[in-house]
């Protein structure tokens, strides 16, 4: 707890208040503290570590001394005064001492602070904050409330340990035993959570006067604030002078060795810890803000850099694409899009479709045109927003594959009918595989020679068994004679294709030529 930083043990307790029936255990606990106060009213004051030049607790110590062995009327007098004395610690101590011999304590005030409920007995005009601290004195967290106002007024350091408090005047270095006590309350050791290792990001809390650096791994970084939790057990005039908070580790791994690291300046970043030290940000939130700042820094670079799933590939398109493992129809589009990138691309959970979506608007027409020309543009236009970029690209890729397959074949004008029939089957095969060729055959009303040619292709594609019943013995026999020519037509390109087509036509007994 401190004057300007986290206020986990606030000077004026905030939270829900209420009244509740006291349990026997609560009564016994408060009576026990009341009886201990009767034995020693000064127990609520801190001990002095260094022997201050002028004790800031001298005045309240005198008042508390007057309560020693005081009778009930004297205690009531101190507890019931309505002047400034009611804000004094002595009033709360006197009011509590009255409970030592009370027959019962039927009702207690309840205060919800930071998710925990604390109870105390309201007596006299004593300040509620002081009553809360005195009657919960065995709680190191609330104990600070008893004298925190004096510590703040006099710029003292106040530490609450297991059994009492220690006051330090000018030195922020904690007293012996306090560091281990406070860290134990938080489940930490002097290294932090004990899990932070390697290059994985972790929160680093530098407790400067204690010469302690706490490293909290991301798994342990929670919706709590480590500094705020520590300052539940001490008061400091200005926490910003005691703690510094940062993040260590790699948020981006190197996936490609570059001659000059483009993102190095973006990674060399610090984060203002004022908001965190004010108790307004959690450990996890601080790490997340650090990640976001690095991401923003990278995105602000003026050159293409590809950071995918926390791995930087620099401007190496091949390495980025290899990381994405795209499907056959995604890779050409990825390459085209990344080649035109002029700014950094930073994506978590990166997929080919996610990368394509980043660039799709404004680039879709150019990409599909590059892949499949006018046919690609037609497919894009007819998609009408019904398909995702990946679905469109799959269709465009198939169109490009067909175009490429058919581009290897010569074009003809005015082929003889039988040659045109064979050419159509061969082209259907190149475009749509065996299924396309079979479909082209089945859609045709054929004469004897055409059926022989068709059967030849079925044999060449190893599809004859399912279609055999449709052909006569003579058609099958003639088709077997032509099967070798059909096989050549399924694979030949350029001039070789024309020669194979002519050979088949001649083998049918035709004297026509392929022009």
- DSSP codes, 357-392: HHHHTTTHHHHHHHHHHHHHHHHHHHHTT-S-HHHH
Lowest mean pLDDT among 28-42, 174-188, 421-435: 421-435
- Please, what sign has the CA dihedral across residues 319, 321, 326, 327? negative
pLDDT higher than 90, residue 506: yes
Percentage of the chain beyond pLDDT 70 is 95
Helix (H, G, I), strand (E, B) or coil at 238: coil
Tell whether 158 is covered by a domain: no
Q: What's the CA gap between 359 and 70, in Å, rounded?
A: 83
What is the pLDDT averaged over residues 438-447?
A: 88
Q: Interior CA angle at 102 toward 101 and 107, to 5°?
A: 145
CB proximity list for 223: less than 8 A, separation 6 or greater: 282, 284
What is the pLDDT averaged over residues 140-165?
A: 93
More confident of the two residues 330 and 256 = 330
Write out pLDDT tens, residues 353-374. Answer: 999 999 999 899 999 998 888 9
pLDDT higher than 50, residue 49: yes
Same domain, 354 and 441: no
Pairing of strands 47-48, 165-168: parallel
Tell whether 125 is covered by a domain: yes
Same domain, 383 and 321: yes
What is the pLDDT averaged over residues 468-492?
A: 92
Closest to 390 measured CA to CA, from 334, 473, 451: 334
Same domain, 444 and 374: no
Same domain, 340 and 439: no
Same domain, 248 and 293: yes
Last residue of a domain, one of 405, 430, 451: 405
Q: What is the pLDDT of residue 4?
A: 47
Tell whether 57 is covered by a domain: yes
pLDDT higher than 70, residue 85: no
Token pair 């105390």: residue: 120
Write out pLDDT tens, residues 194-237. Answer: 888 777 889 999 999 999 999 999 999 988 999 999 999 999 98
Q: What is the pLDDT of residue 169?
A: 86
pLDDT higher than 50, residue 12: no
Q: What is the pLDDT of residue 8?
A: 43
Domains: count for the chain? 4
Q: What is the pLDDT of residue 195?
A: 85
Lowest mean pLDDT among 49-58, 94-103, 233-242, 353-362: 49-58
Closest to 346 measured CA to CA, from 283, 266, 269: 266
Percentage of the chain beyond pLDDT 90 is 53
Last residue of a domain, one of 139, 166, 197: 139
Q: Interior CA angle at 367 toward 362 and 371, to 5°?
A: 165
Tell whether 435 is covered by a domain: yes
Same domain, 200 and 282: yes
Same domain, 382 and 443: no
Same domain, 255 and 342: no
Same domain, 22 and 135: yes
Same domain, 182 and 110: no
Q: What's the CA gap between 65 and 424, in Å, rounded?
A: 114
pLDDT higher than 50, residue 10: no
Q: What is the pLDDT of residue 379?
A: 86
Q: Are 142 and 120 in contact (CB under 8 A)?
A: no
Closest to 195 measured CA to CA, from 203, 184, 207, 186: 203
Q: Are 220 and 282 in contact (CB under 8 A)?
A: no
How would residue 280 be classed by pLDDT, with cut points 50, 70 and 90? very high
pLDDT higher than 60, residue 14: no
Tell whether 144 is covered by a domain: no
Same domain, 320 and 338: yes
Closest to 153 measured CA to CA, from 30, 11, 351, 346: 11
Tell whether 237 is covered by a domain: yes
What is the pLDDT averaged over residues 177-189?
A: 95
Closest to 504 measured CA to CA, from 468, 477, 479: 479
Q: Are 253 and 311 in contact (CB under 8 A)?
A: yes
What is the pLDDT averaged over residues 487-506?
A: 90
How would residue 11 be classed by pLDDT, with cut points 50, 70 and 90? very low
Domain housing 281: 178-299
Q: What is the pLDDT of residue 238?
A: 85
How would residue 17 be classed by pLDDT, with cut points 50, 70 and 90? low
Q: What is the pLDDT of residue 412?
A: 86
How would residue 2 be classed by pLDDT, with cut points 50, 70 and 90? low
Closest to 207 measured CA to CA, from 180, 168, 170: 180
**Mean pLDDT rounded to a whole number for the chain:** 88
Longest dimension (CA), the chain: 138
Tell whether 3 is covered by a domain: no
Same domain, 455 and 381: no
Element (H, E) at 88: none
Tell whether 51 is covered by a domain: yes
Last residue of a domain, one of 283, 299, 315: 299
Q: Are 250 and 201 in contact (CB under 8 A)?
A: yes
């Amino acid at each position: 707890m401190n004057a300007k930083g986290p206020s986990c043990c606030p000077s004026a307790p905030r939270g829900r208040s209420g009244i509740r029936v006291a349990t026997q255990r609560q009564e016994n606990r408060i009576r026990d503290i009341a009886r201990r106060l009767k034995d020693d009213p000064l127990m609520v004051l801190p001990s002095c570590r260094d022997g201050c030049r002028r004790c800031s607790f001298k005045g309240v110590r005198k008042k508390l001394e007057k309560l020693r062995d005081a009778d009930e009327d004297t205690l009531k007098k101190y507890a019931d005064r309505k002047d400034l004395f009611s804000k004094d610690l002595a009033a709360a101590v006197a009011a509590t001492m009255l409970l030592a011999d009370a027959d019962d304590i039927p009702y207690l005030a309840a205060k919800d602070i930071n998710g925990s409920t604390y109870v105390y007995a309201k007596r006299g005009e004593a300040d509620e904050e002081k009553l809360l601290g005195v009657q919960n004195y065995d709680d190191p967290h609330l104990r600070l409330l008893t004298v925190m106002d004096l510590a703040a007024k006099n710029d003292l350091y106040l530490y609450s340990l297991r059994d009492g408090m220690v006051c330090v005047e000018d030195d922020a270095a904690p007293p012996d035993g306090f560091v281990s006590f406070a860290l134990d309350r938080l489940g930490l050791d002097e290294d932090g959570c004990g899990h932070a290792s390697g290059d994985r990001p972790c929160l680093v809390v530098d407790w400067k006067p204690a010469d302690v650096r706490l490293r909290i791994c991301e798994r342990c970084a929670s919706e709590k604030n480590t500094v705020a939790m520590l300052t539940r057990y001490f008061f400091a005039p200005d926490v910003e002078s005691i703690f510094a908070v940062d993040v260590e580790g790699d948020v981006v791994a190197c996936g490609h060795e570059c001659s000059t690291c483009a993102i190095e300046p973006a990674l060399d970043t610090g984060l203002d810890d004022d908001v965190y030290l004010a108790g307004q940000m959690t450990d996890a939130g601080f790490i997340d803000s650090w990640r976001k700042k690095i991401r923003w820094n990278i995105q602000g670079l003026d050159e293409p850099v590809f950071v995918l799933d926390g791995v930087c590939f620099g401007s190496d398109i091949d390495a980025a694409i290899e990381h994405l493992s795209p499907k056959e129809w995604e890779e050409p589009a990825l390459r085209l899009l990344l080649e035109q990138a002029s700014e950094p691309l930073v994506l978590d959970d990166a997929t080919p479709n996610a990368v394509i979506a980043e660039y799709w608007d404004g680039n879709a027409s150019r990409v599909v045109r590059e892949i499949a020309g006018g046919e690609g543009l037609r497919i894009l236009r007819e998609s009408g927003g019904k398909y995702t970029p990946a679905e469109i690209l799959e269709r465009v890729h198939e169109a490009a594959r067909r175009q490429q397959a058919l581009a290897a074949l010569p074009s003809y004008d005015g082929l003889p009918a039988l040659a045109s029939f064979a050419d159509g089957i061969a082209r259907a095969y190149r475009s749509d595989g065996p299924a396309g060729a079979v479909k082209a055959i089945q859609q045709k009303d054929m004469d004897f020679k055409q059926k022989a040619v068709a059967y030849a292709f079925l044999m060449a594609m190893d599809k004859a068994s399912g279609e055999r019943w449709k052909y006569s013995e003579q058609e099958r026999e003639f088709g077997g004679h032509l099967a070798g020519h059909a096989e050549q037509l399924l694979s030949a390109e350029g001039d070789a294709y024309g020669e194979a087509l002519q050979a088949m036509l001649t083998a049918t007994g035709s004297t026509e030529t392929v022009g």
